Amino acid sequence: MAQTNCRNFSGYKPCTKSQTCDSRCASFDAPKLSILIVHLGALGAVVRSTSLLKAIKRKYPSSMITWVTDAPAHVLLQDHPVIDRVLTTKDADLLQLGALQFDVAMVIDKSLKAVGVLRHTQVDQIFGFTANPLTGAIVPATPAAEELWELGLNNHKKFFENKKPETQLMIEALELGPFKRDAYWVPLSESETMELHFRRQSFLTAGKKWVLGFNTGCSNVIAAKKFTIEFHRLMIKSLQSRYPEAQLVLLGGPEDTERNVEIAKGLSVISTATQSGLRDGLISVAACDVVVTGDSLGMHMAISQGKQVVAWFGPTCAHEIDLYDRGVSILSQSPCSPCWKRACEKSIMCYDQVSLQEIVHAVESCRTNSLSGGFAFGNSTLKALSSDLA
């Protein structure tokens, strides 16, 4: 008789673990708890939330995890070793969700859409956030989420009083036990790891010794999280003259294609593909030793792959981002920073008030740390999880 309660059993085709589907299967694995993670939010925030996975597995070691997110964030979670199922908010995926039941749901977004996902399934216990069914107001699902909730309601607390990174706030809000500063967890596949090394070698030509990446853009939600084209060119020229042995690489997504062409004009830089998808962009980031970036998806990708990161902050809060002792945070000297405003009419913007000298010094510090520590990329093995949980 087939072992229908195994996490690898689908009921309509053989799994890839064994030729048999009975008590003789060495890969039989029956989960004891079902968990739903709902995080639809910004791409970078979804990458950051992978830091929760080890804590979830510590608290619920025999759990089966389903993660619901908005496309295209699901691409970043695909084939993850501890995420059993990734669904989007498309109608076809929500129909699948309706066939499932969960012991625990963790709603990370403070949004009606995220809370509404739960209407498509059955859940026994909710952590994180829910909504007042009458007014639609987002409220904490349990008292543990009140601190994170209140930071969204009080700018002074968020900007100046809070000193915790978002990773810690989420662990506490979701009641996942003591905060252990778990790293982001976005592993590369075996084929992606091979491509990473090929790509890195293609960067390191003509006597170049290390790779310095520039994540040049960000989403259009808060456009002030990126430098001007002119400042990028000035920064590149300064760093090229200081580090002739470094290969400078431009990183970015589809919205940065034309921008990167303008930045690269007349400069000896490599422009990576911006139209090849999120996973390809992740490989390019992982091929770098040091990444200079604003507070964006590219920053979170670099953190996830264990890069040395020089991250600058203008509209957003540096203290909410944990670089895991692998980088330097540089703050704009703008007196109104941070503000989290989506638009600004000031004549001198926060990105105009970031010190080029600070960036150069930060790159030097990160270069030294990178060379002393050797080339590294993000954790991609189950073995590392096992050692962390031991």
Question: What residues make up the domain containing 77?
Answer: 33-182
3-state SS class at 57: helix
200 in the same domain as 279: yes
Of 295, 321, 313, nearest to 354 by C-alpha is 313
* Residues 261-298 pLDDT 10s: 999 999 999 999 999 999 999 999 999 999 999 999 99
CATH number at residue 342: 3.40.50.2000
Residue 1 lies in a domain: no
Q: What pLDDT does residue 218 have?
A: 82
What is the total count of domains within the chain?
Answer: 2
272 in the same domain as 256: yes
Residue 384 lies in a domain: no
Residue 10 lies in a domain: no
Q: Return all residues near 350 (Cβ < 8 A) that are at least 6 apart.
A: 224, 314, 315, 332, 334, 336, 337, 339, 344
**DSSP letter for each residue of 71-138:** TTTHHHHTT-TT--EEEESSHHHHHHHTT-EEEEEEE-S-SHHHHHHGGGSEEEEEEEEEE-TTT--E
Peptide bond preceding 143: is omega within 30 degrees of 0, i.e. cis? no
Of 354, 373, 381, nearest to 308 by C-alpha is 373
* Residues 119-139 pLDDT 10s: 999 999 999 999 999 999 999
pLDDT band at 382 (very low <50, low <70, confident <90, very high): very low
pLDDT band at 336 (very low <50, low <70, confident <90, very high): confident
3-state SS class at 35: strand
141 in the same domain as 178: yes
261 in the same domain as 153: no
How far is residue 348 CA from its own chain's centroid? 30
Residue 66 lies in a domain: yes
d(CA 116, CA 121): 10
350 in the same domain as 255: yes
d(CA 11, CA 3): 10
Residue 98 lies in a domain: yes
Residue 237 lies in a domain: yes
85 in the same domain as 60: yes
Cα dist. 387→29, 54, 193, 381 in Å?
Answer: 19, 11, 21, 11
How far is residue 113 CA from its own chain's centroid? 21
Backbone angles phi, psi at 381, to 5 degrees: -125, 150
318 in the same domain as 236: yes
Tokens 């008292």, residue located: 143
Q: What pLDDT does residue 349 have?
A: 82
3-state secondary structure 251-275: ECCHHHHHHHHHHHCCCCCEECCCC
d(CA 46, CA 108): 10
212 in the same domain as 354: yes
Q: Return all residues near 128 (Cβ < 8 A) that are at least 6 apart.
A: 38, 105, 106, 107, 108, 140, 141, 145, 173, 174
pTM: 0.91
Please say whether the beta carbons of 92 and 294 come within 8 A: no
Mean pLDDT for 133-149 is 97
Residue 366 lies in a domain: yes
Specify the higher pLDDT residue, 149 or 374. 149
369 in the same domain as 335: yes
Q: Return all residues near 147 (Cβ < 8 A) that are at least 6 apart.
A: 169, 172, 173
176 in the same domain as 197: no
Of 324, 332, 336, 270, nearest to 299 by C-alpha is 324
354 in the same domain as 306: yes
236 in the same domain as 154: no
* Residues 214-255 pLDDT 10s: 999 887 777 778 889 999 999 999 999 999 999 999 999 999
Residue 175 lies in a domain: yes
3-state SS class at 151: helix
3-state SS class at 185: coil
Backbone angles phi, psi at 73, to 5 degrees: -60, -25
